Structure 1
């Protein structure tokens, strides 16, 4: 099962040539993960932070395939590629533009990797490809 959203390419994403400045793609990948947690997991980052929990990105790989320009509307998809004890790897793509793998780790109050809470693990496993 995958999660999808459309992200329009805005002026703030672009360099002076009118194409997406590559670090902005990393922000969009993170946006996909954050919105997946809002819409599917129903555990937003704001709630995590208020509870003293977090989910930092520990690895990010991006293959850039084709430039995107101001005004493009990219259809993004996120799939759960791997669920570990305290980590998850997401496969995120924006059509023919890029493919990314983002690995995050669940951190509890003591800032050490901790097992996924059951309610989060169940949703991650339900979305596992």
Structure 2
């Protein structure tokens, strides 16, 4: 557990600093990550991916929208449905956060070796699958 705790702390440290400079937190990072990964995601789909309530998502999503990082547009097929996408500034933020974390992972993967990376990926998939169950 301790290795997992300290590994996660190292993984999030640089991103946390970058977010803090903008008055944002990890919840904001998760939102921009999923919107960036799945453009035109509906609010309902984002709620499902994050596993949070509408109430929990409301404030951070509104903050990101007010900061010009996320925008919502009406669905062409259902005007009641808002589709979320990153603005150019939102895309830039998401890419810079991800780039720092990818660099850290690449360095750790190079040190650990291929078999360890395969094992780490399998563990993470199993953890993700247990969340779905």
- Tell me, yes or no, whether TM beats 0.5: no
> Greater relative contact order (Cα 8 A, min sep 6): structure 1 or 2?
1
Q: What TM-score comes out, normalization by structure 2 length? A: 0.25
Q: Which has the higher helix share?
A: 2
Q: Which has the higher strand share?
A: 1
Q: What TM-score comes out, normalization by structure 1 length? A: 0.25
